[in-house]
Amino acid sequence: MKEIRWYLETALFLSISWAVSRIPHRYAMGFGRGLGRFFYRILKRRREIAIDNIEKALPYLERQPGWAGGTPEEIARETFENLGRSVVENCRIYHGRGRDLIDAVQFRGIEHYHEAMKKGKGVVFITAHSGNWELFALAFGTRYHEASVVARRQDNRHLNAVLERIRKTYGNGIIYKEGAIRGMFSLFKKQGVVGLLIDQAVTPDEGVLIEFLGRPAWAGRIAVLIGRKAGTPMLPAFIHREGDTHIITISPEYRPSENPDPEQAAYEDVSGLHGFIARYVVEHPSQWYWIHKKWKRAPERMPQTQGREAASE
């Protein structure tokens, strides 16, 4: 029965995504926004998570220079609209009708990538669930260098195979989370490029407790491990929308902490890398993935000792 269900799910995904990909370009983005608003209305629990996350982050956001503004409800609604537009764009790409989207992506700071590659140790892009993050990987893989992304294997093996084939068509590889570190180290020895989304919540044994958008959050330390063990340059890079255009901005290489205490160095690096995500959220608040539980398992306040260390930076 499971195999039959998987076949049906895969067929449904291919059928719906094919139909969406056939929407004329001049109507596609309007349809995507409408799709996002529809899900904003019917996905009550996700809507509530987004609004709650934004409300709790708002005191921090409003203190930051360059804050784009907006109420929690407005930002949450626009977040869903962005996701709806991304779904439509990705359907077009998956079915071979998105080459115009990929070719139109603009890169800022690409010189930082070229400079990092000269070290001969590959590159890891430190990024987040922002903008159309799937388009980031596809555009870079098509235009510059095959890029591998770290992803969770789909439970449905047939759907997983379809998505894997699509990504490889556009010059992307996939490193699955089980055994991800070994896979990344192997790629870096061949001067490979990896995209790592670091903004997901992790369990306490997997991460470091940092302050993110004004609240304690558990954040993964895998990027820090890569930077220290492999010596691979870490480049913060994010994609955002400007009207109907997608912009990928690549920052200079992040320099790891030189603190001799490994735990404190990990805290400083994880905090430092998340600082780039925080800046993105300040500037493009509706293009970050507010609907996930980034702050789950974390205490309401930072422990006093950790707070003193953070304040001394």
DSSP per-residue letters across 261-287: SHHHHHHHHHHHHHHHHHHHHHHSGGG
**What are 61-74's pLDDT values in tens digits?**
999 999 999 999 99
How many separate helices (H) and strands (E) can be counted in the chain?
12, 9
Interatomic CA distance for residues 289 and 129, integer angstroms: 6
Sequence-ordered alpha helix ranges (H) in 68-173: 72-94, 99-104, 110-117, 133-143, 157-169
pLDDT at res. 182: 85
Q: Which residues pair with 239 in a beta bridge?
A: 248
Estimate to the nearest angstrom the gap between the alpha carbon of 166 and the chain centroid: 19
pLDDT tens by residue, 50-109:
999 999 999 999 999 999 999 999 999 999 999 999 999 999 988 888 888 999 999 999
pTM (predicted TM-score): 0.90
Q: Which two tokens stand for residue 18?
A: 């094919």
Q: What is residue 310's predicted lDDT score, i.e. its pLDDT?
A: 43
Q: Is residue 311 scored above 50 in pLDDT?
A: no
Average pLDDT across the chain, whole number:
89
In angstroms, the CA 172 to CA 145 distance is 9
**Could you tell me the sign of the dihedral formed by the alpha carbons of 106, 34, 134, 96, in that order?**
negative
Helix (H, G, I), strand (E, B) or coil at 228: helix
**Domain positions in the chain:** 2-311
- DSSP 8-state secondary structure symbol assigned to residue 71: -
Element (H, E) at 8: helix 2-21
8 A C-beta contact, residue 286 and residue 75 = yes
Query: Are the C-beta atoms of residues 256 and 269 closer than 8 Å to each other?
Result: yes
Q: Which of 9-18, 132-141, 193-202 has the lowest mean pLDDT?
A: 9-18
Q: How far apart are CA 265 and CA 287, in angstroms?
A: 30
First to last CA, the chain: 56
Query: Which is it for the CA torsion 217, 254, 284, 17, positive or negative?
Result: negative
Q: For 258-285, how does the pLDDT look when each residue is reduced to its tens digit (9 = 90+)?
A: 899 989 999 999 999 999 999 999 999 9
Closest-CA residue to 64 (of 216, 310, 210, 279): 279
Amino acid letter, 34: G
C-alpha 133/C-alpha 197 separation (Å) is 9
- HEC letters along 85-97: HHHHHHHHHHCCC
- The strand pairing partners of 293, in sequence order, are none
The span from the CA of 132 to the CA of 86, in Å, is 5
User: How far apart, in whole angstroms, are the C-alpha atoms of residue 179 and residue 174?
Assistant: 12
With 90 as the cut, is the pLDDT of residue 132 above it?
Answer: yes
- The backbone torsions φ and ψ at residue 149, rounded to the nearest 5 degrees and listed phi first, read -115, 145
Per-residue pLDDT of 221-272, as tens digits, reads 888 888 788 889 999 999 999 988 999 999 999 999 989 998 999 999 999 9
Contacts of 67 (CB under 8 A, 6+ apart): 61, 282, 285
